[in-house]
Amino acid sequence: EIVLTQSPGTLSLSPGQRATLSCRASQSLSSGYLAWYQQKPGLAPRLLIYGTSIKATGIPDRFSGSGSRTNFTLSISRLEPEDFALYYCQQYDKSPLTFGGGTKVEIK
């Protein structure tokens, strides 16, 4: 099973600042099949990024994904109030499909 480790657990930032979230895989994702989701309380996860760096439909340009093999990053260039939420990475390269433990982006 591919284990995904997200860091940091919590990121305390102010609106307008840049957020950098990390996701490390225990094995190489040679396909680049790594996705990022945003989740707000009481709601289902929302797909932000797939294929490491491809933005899902309707996702603002301030969100970007990068990385390769075992190290992946989600960046939010300038945090808007609605961006404060939980973020999960997920690999869909090998079964079982797995998720990271999440990074909470909170208002400082």
Partner 1 sequence: QLQLQESGPGLVKPSETLSLTCSVSGGSVSTDSHYWGWLRQPPGKGLEWIGDIYYTGITYYNPSLSSRATISVDTSQNQFSLKVSSVTAADTAVYYCARRGFGRPFDPWGQGSLVTVSS
Q: Could you tell me which stretch among 12-20, 21-29, 63-71, 90-98 binds partner 1 (CB under 8 A)?
A: 90-98
Q: Which C-beta is closer to partner 1: that of 19 or that of 100?
A: 100
- Which residues 6+ apart lie within 8 Å of 10 measured at CB? 103, 104, 105, 106
The Cα angle at residue 65 between residues 75 and 36, in degrees rounded to 5: 95
* Selected binder of partner 1 within 71, 94, 98, 104 (CB under 8 A): 98
Site for partner 1 (CB under 8 A): which residue of 2, 33, 73, 104? Answer: 33
CA distance 33 to 69: 10
Specify whether the backbone of 48 is left (phi greater than 0), alpha (psi in -120 to 50) or beta. alpha
Say whether residue 41 binds partner 1 (CB under 8 A).
no
Kindly state the smallest distance separating residue 54's Cβ from partner 1, in Å: 10
Applying CB under 8 A, the residues found at the interface with partner 1 are 31, 33, 35, 37, 43-47, 50-51, 56, 88, 90, 92, 95-102
